[in-house]
Amino acid sequence: MSIQAQIETKLQALEPAYLAVENESHMHHAPPNSETHFKVTLVSSRFQGLMPVKRHQQVYAILADEKAGPVHALALHLYTPEEWEARGGARPDSPNCRGGGSH
């Protein structure tokens, strides 16, 4: 199973109303076909009443094995259904990599 598929499967624990896991490794200094940099957009009612840091902690706990191994970076965009609707179903674009050869 690919790292992306593992992430998608594990994040089902948060009962997402919307989930998008995007492999952005190609935007960084990584070998072809790498799975090291991901953007996760997740909408869940489980985030209701939680500050962003608590939402991130939930995701990091679920993806602890991936973060300890092959995943170098996770860009997390975590919303309640109401927040997602207020944004018009849009998440920020990722910036261009500025890490040079350090990745």
Q: What is the DSSP string of 14-61?
A: G--SEEEEEE-GGGSS--TT---EEEEEEE-GGGTT--HHHHHHHHHH
pLDDT the model gives residue 59? 98
Residue 60 and residue 14: Cα distance in Å, rounded? 12
CATH for 15: 3.30.300.90
Report whether pLDDT(98) > 60. Answer: no
In a domain, 17, yes or no: yes
The number of folded domains in the chain is 1
Domain assignment present for residue 48? The answer is yes
Mean pLDDT to the nearest integer, 6-26: 94
Residue 16 belongs to what domain range? Answer: 3-86
In a domain, 92, yes or no: no
- Tens digits of per-residue pLDDT, 18-76? 999 999 876 766 666 678 889 999 999 999 999 999 999 999 999 999 999 889 889 99
Quote the pTM value: 0.84
Please say whether the dihedral angle defined by the alpha carbons of residues 50, 16, 91 and 24, taken in this order, is positive or negative.
positive
